[in-house]
Structure 1
Amino acid sequence: MGFRRHRRPITIEVAGAGPAEVIAAVRERGAVVVGGTRVSFHVSDAGRVRARLPVPSPTHMAPHLTARLVAADRGTVLTGQIRESYLEVAYSYLYYGLAGLLALAVLPILAFEGGPRNPGLYVCGVGALLLGHVGFLTTRHRRVAFAANAPDLDRAAHLLLALRDRPRPGGHPEPTPPLPTGPSPDGPPAPPDGPAPPDGPPRDAREHAAAPGDPAPGRPRPSGLRPATPE
């Protein structure tokens, strides 16, 4: 009938990092984006982690993550569950409960209120069928929605704990080592492959050298005069 909360266990191992370091990293990042949706994480000093997807609609509550960070042999392990909201289960209880009350109201109408001639009999009967159908659709929608949203929350937790560039416990990133300076211990670098450049000025400079009689570079040549040609 769908009266139980849907659950999905989650276990993530963070190798080479202690609980204090993982807590600092989670607080430093705070949130990740999965499928265009921002998922925020909250962690306590004791290592309790909570996260919830944004509410998709007023009539549907997204699942939430409740987990704990514990120390392990090779680092830290996050263990917990992704659970369906209590409000989702309450919707199923509400519709099925109302359908049951209307169905029970049919019995005294049949016994004491005129039986089939009483219009309340049909109102209660049709109402019970409609509310029962709505409860069935709500239960099926809960199952489909949880199966669609729980993997996003699981993937967000894995992205958050991917600590390749994790900060130090103080909240500052690991310093980048400076580049080496000064002469190389292996000696000067080897010259590049290929022929050595020719001595003297560049080829373009020789081709564009000023001819005898030309004015100095930057000065205009007098109009109507041609450069003197040596005999």
Structure 2
Amino acid sequence: MPQQHRAHATRQAILSAAAEEFDRAGYAATPLSAILRRSGVTKGAFYFHFPSKESLATALVRAQEAVWPELYQRWVEQGVDPLRMLVGLVDDLARAIATDTVVRAGLRLSCESGLIDNDLPSPYPLWERVLFELFDQAGAGGLLRDGVNPAVAARVVNAALVGARIISCSLNRCTDVTQRTRELWPLVLRGIATDVWFEGWVGESRASSPLYAQ
């Protein structure tokens, strides 16, 4: 048991160090030596857990991928309407990106998958599909303005959210990605949701968080 604990601790130290380095510099600019130095692990111990830098990067991508279904299910269980679920889910995603280095590094690596493993999926189609499903449900429930196409809304919102994340991560390692994301909603949802839904949501949002644009 102590040996298993040490092995687990070593693997976690490698993952944590790699997340810091990949988040800071990206995959191509991060040498294995930097990960070993930050983790305090020998090269032999590293290769006991990971056969290559590529396999380590893939493990981080998989770790961040595992976060999203849990967050999604948590919001499904809330029982709120699709648009409120969308806003709440994205808010949780942004908070995870801002505060969790493994999530942030794994996301960056998934966007650099061509340098690592072409079989790693891009996150953008997945997010767009989730957005579409929620907008489609909102349309079926009468929450969208006349003429709003759920597929178009999903593409536009996905692009806006990706842009907010990229700018935030470029400028300050995503520390303000939650604020940038929240600032989008009053502008974007005004043109997507019905007046009744939008006004109700604005009232709730202003009461609950000063980060939402007034």
TM-score, normalising length: structure 2 = 0.26
TM-score by length of 1: 0.25
Higher gyration radius (CA):
1
More helix by share: 2
Normalized per residue, which structure has more strand? 1
